[in-house]
Structures are given as structure tokens and as C-alpha cells.
Amino acid sequence: MGNLGVHFAIRDRQFAALLGARRPARIGEVIAGIEQRWEAHWLAESDKAWEVIHRCLTDGSLDSEAGSYPLNKCILGGCRLQTAGDGVVRLVMPAEVGDVAAALATLDEGWLSRRFFALDPRSVALPLDPDGFAYVWHWFCNVRRLFERAARAERAVLFTAVLAAPQVKPGRIVALGRTVEPPRTLAAQGDIRRLAP
């Protein structure tokens, strides 16, 4: 099941290449090049915790428009980029990265814990227990450190996650092992649009 998240603090030329790409296939090629370089200092993996992190930072849903700026930009709230493949691709502009980094820096373990344990257990694939929280906290800290580095370097941040294909039933969507109602799901937002240059 492929749904592992990665944030990349991208170089100026990579950012320019994404903005200049006209076709989904070309956007995919640029992203593939970024992933292939795999510059450890300039990336942060979030494993499968990214969806729970987004829920904690917003309103508990996977709605990309949920929550408020700048925390909602951290995972799913960036500009949508359309690629030829399945998955999620979001871009946080350099001018926004500093705001996200500053907001994330104010959040401590207690704050995230309260948000985590307030989630609807039917909406998340992780157990809402101390082990589940430790897992999310670890990956959250990883993402927060990347935003700090990206802000200092004035870099844009690219988020990618490859999703397993959802099983669709009439009027309902089964994604990440649970049934949810559209349209407030990631799978229901399949109309990923390319950022206009």
C-alpha cells in the first residue's frame, strides 16, 4: 500500500521548472528528478503519518481547504500540481514557507497530543493510543525541522504522497482502509489541478 509522504525543500531552478511545466507529464518528470536526487538534508519523510498530521493541524478532516493559514499549508494545503500518475502533489511557495515554519515552531508535544487524541477514531488508520501518538510526533518533528531549514534558505517546499487506488462504492469511498463520505476526502478530490504559471 503506497501512501508514504515526503517533503522536499527544492532549489530555485527546480521551483522554476515546476512553475514552467505545461503538461502533467512534464511536472511528473521534474518531480521524478527531485526524488531521484534524494538530498537527505533537504527532505523530510513523514511515512504514513502525514494524513494524521494534516488532520491535527486543521479541522480533523483530509480536506485540503480545511483549517486556517499557515498551518493548513503544511501538508495538503499547498498549490495542487497535476501529474500523470496517482497521488498527491502540493507546492508551498517560498513566501509562505517562513509563515508555516514559524507557526509549526510554536507547537509543542502537548498541543499536538490534544489534537491527536481528539480525532475521530473512525477517521484514522492509526490507533489513537500513546504508541500511535509517538509515531505521529516523531514524523511531525521531522517535517517541522525541514520547514525551518527551508525558511532559512528561502526555498519552496514540495509535498508528495503516492496513494493506493481507492475502492469506489456508489456514493461512498473506501480509502486507506476505511469508508468515508465524499466530498471531504482526499480520494474525492481527484481533480488535482496544475498550478498556473
Q: Is the pLDDT of residue 185 over 80?
A: no
- Mean of pLDDT values over 182-189: 33
Task: Give bridge partners of residue 8 from the DSSP assignment.
Answer: 43, 158
The strand order across the sheet containing 172-175 reads 167-169, 172-175, 178-180
The answer for residues whose C-beta is within 8 angstroms of residue 48's C-beta and 6 or more apart is 3, 4, 5, 125, 126
> Which helix (DSSP H) or strand (DSSP E) does residue 52 occupy?
helix 50-57
Rounded to an integer, the average pLDDT of 52-57 is 98
Name the more confident of 42 and 186. 42
Q: Nearest 5°: phi and psi at 174?
A: -105, 115
> pLDDT per residue over 115-163, tens digit each?
999 999 999 999 999 999 999 999 999 999 999 999 999 999 999 997 6
Domains of the chain and CATH, by start = 5-189 (3.40.1760.10)
Nearest Cα neighbor of 190 from 70, 72, 62 is 62
pLDDT band at 87 (very low <50, low <70, confident <90, very high): confident
Of 23-37, 96-110, 169-183, the range with the lowest mean pLDDT is 169-183
Q: What is the mean pLDDT of residues 66-71?
A: 96
Q: Three-state DSSP class for 159?
A: strand
**Residue 187 confidence (pLDDT) above 50:** no
Instruction: Cell 532559512: give the residue.
Output: 152
Q: What is the mean pLDDT of the chain?
A: 84
Say if residue 179's pLDDT is above 50: no
Residue 86 banded pLDDT, cuts 50, 70, 90: confident
Entry pTM: 0.81
Q: pLDDT at residue 177 above 60? A: no
- The distance of Cα 193 from the centroid of its chain, to the nearest Å, equals 16
| Rg of the chain over all Cα atoms, to the nearest angstrom | 16
Burial 36-69 (b: 16+ CB within 10 A, else e): eeeeeebbbebebbbbbbbbbbbebbbbbebbee
Give the list of residues 6+ apart from residue 65 with CB closer than 8 angstroms, or none: 72, 77
In this predicted structure, what is the pLDDT of residue 110? 98
pLDDT-wise least confident of 88-92, 96-100, 148-152, 189-193: 189-193
